[in-house]
Each structure stands twice: as structure tokens, then as C-alpha cells.
């Protein structure tokens, strides 16, 4: 068994934006970073990519029993209504592009930039999009069981936008122990 979500010290701030072919931190390690310009804290988790990750793409994290790959990204391709509700499928955003199998930090909570599947409205709740690695609007400000974050700007058409990733707290509240 390995600890997931262990707080770790960052060796160098540039490690947050530099994926590597070798593992430099414990998988699942969490780093809290203060953004003094926004007066907020972002959480990053150290993971291994399942494939090529697009910058600003939203993915989910899977916990595996494979040694050396315990915390790995996955593409959310499920278009069913229940996607995003699994406790173990924590959404994350790759703020930089990753090569397949590379190790690096992904944002798991806080203000960041995300790819959208279409038009979005400021302050509206968003869910995982049907298009790969994107979010889609839920059409209202009401947070639902499928909400992964809140859009922070209005955008017409697909592209990137400011986004508040809700993070772990929502999933912890939803989880029902077996």
C-alpha cells in the first residue's frame, strides 16, 4: 500500500511546469502553491501520464495497483450522465503538455485555464465534456453532482478559458464508504 495525497516539498518551482521521463517525486504527492497575485492556493498532484496530455486539457486520475504507476491520468471518454461522480476519478488539469508516460504535476484544485467543448458562460457550473479533454457548461450557476468546476469567463465556441477547478473536497463529500 502507498500513501496518496501526501504533502511534499517542491524541489524547484519550475518542476510544476516541466514533465520528465523519470520519476522525481512520489506519485500522488500533493503540493500547495500560493498565488499571491490572486490571493489563492492551488493544489497540484504528481502523476504519470497515460498518453500525450494536451496543455489545458482536463483528465481524470485513476489509482492503480501497478508499481510505479499508482497514480495515472486517464481520458474521460464516457458520455453517460454519471461521469465525474466516482470518488476515485478525481479531475485534474494538465497546465502544460505531457509526452506519453511522462511524470509531472497536474492541477487538482484552484484557478487555472481549461479547454472547453463549446461556448461557456461566466460563473456557470461545468462538467466533463463529451469532447476529449474538455469541459462543457451545465447551463446554470447551480452546482450538481456532475460539476467539476466553475467557469470564470464567457467564451463563444471551443477554446480555453479561466476556470475554478473544485478539486478533492467535492469528491470527499460525495463518497459513501462501502
- Residue 1, in any domain of the structure: no
* pLDDT value for 81: 44
- Residue 23, in any domain of the structure: yes
| DSSP state at residue 21 | S
65 near 80, Cβ under 8 Å? no
- Residue 123, in any domain of the structure: yes
The Cα–Cα gap between 63 and 125 comes to: 26
- Summarize the confidence of residues 135-164 as an average pLDDT: 87
Total number of domains in the chain = 1
- Residue 6, in any domain of the structure: no
- Residue 5, in any domain of the structure: no
Long-range contacts formed by 65-70: CB under 8 A, 24+ apart: 68/23, 68/27, 69/27, 70/2, 70/4, 70/27, 70/28
- Residue 138, in any domain of the structure: yes
Q: What is the pLDDT of residues 85-101, one digit of tens each?
A: 444 467 889 999 999 99
The mean pLDDT of the chain is 79
- Residue 46, in any domain of the structure: yes
92 near 45, Cβ under 8 Å? yes
Q: What is the pLDDT of residues 158-173, one digit of tens each?
A: 899 999 998 754 444 3
Can you give the pTM of this predicted structure?
0.83
Confidence grade of residue 174 (pLDDT, cut at 50, 70, 90): very low
* pLDDT value for 144: 79
Statement: residue 1 has pLDDT above 90? no
- Residue 56, in any domain of the structure: yes
Residue-number span of the structural domain to which 102 is assigned? 13-174
Q: What is the pLDDT of residues 11-31, one digit of tens each?
A: 898 999 999 999 999 988 889
- Summarize the confidence of residues 147-160 as an average pLDDT: 90
Amino acid at each position: 500500500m502507498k500513501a496518496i495525497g501526501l504533502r511534499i516539498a517542491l524541489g524547484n518551482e519550475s518542476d510544476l511546469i516541466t514533465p520528465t521521463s523519470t520519476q522525481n517525486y512520489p506519485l500522488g504527492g500533493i503540493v500547495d502553491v500560493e498565488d499571491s497575485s490572486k490571493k489563492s492556493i492551488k493544489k497540484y498532484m504528481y502523476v504519470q501520464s497515460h498518453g500525450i496530455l494536451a496543455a489545458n486539457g482536463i483528465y481524470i486520475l485513476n489509482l492503480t495497483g501497478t508499481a510505479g504507476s499508482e497514480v495515472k491520468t486517464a481520458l474521460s471518454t464516457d458520455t453517460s450522465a454519471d461521469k465525474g461522480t466516482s470518488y476515485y476519478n478525481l479531475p485534474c488539469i494538465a497546465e502544460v503538455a505531457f509526452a506519453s508516460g511522462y511524470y509531472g504535476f497536474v492541477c487538482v484544485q484552484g484557478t487555472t485555464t481549461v479547454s472547453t467543448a463549446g461556448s461557456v458562460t461566466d460563473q456557470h457550473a461545468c462538467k466533463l465534456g463529451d469532447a476529449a479533454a474538455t469541459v462543457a457548461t451545465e447551463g446554470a450557476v447551480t452546482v450538481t453532482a456532475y460539476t467539476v468546476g466553475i467557469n470564470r469567463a464567457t467564451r463563444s465556441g471551443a477554446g480555453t478559458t479561466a476556470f475554478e477547478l473544485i478539486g478533492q473536497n467535492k469528491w470527499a463529500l460525495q463518497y459513501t464508504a462501502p
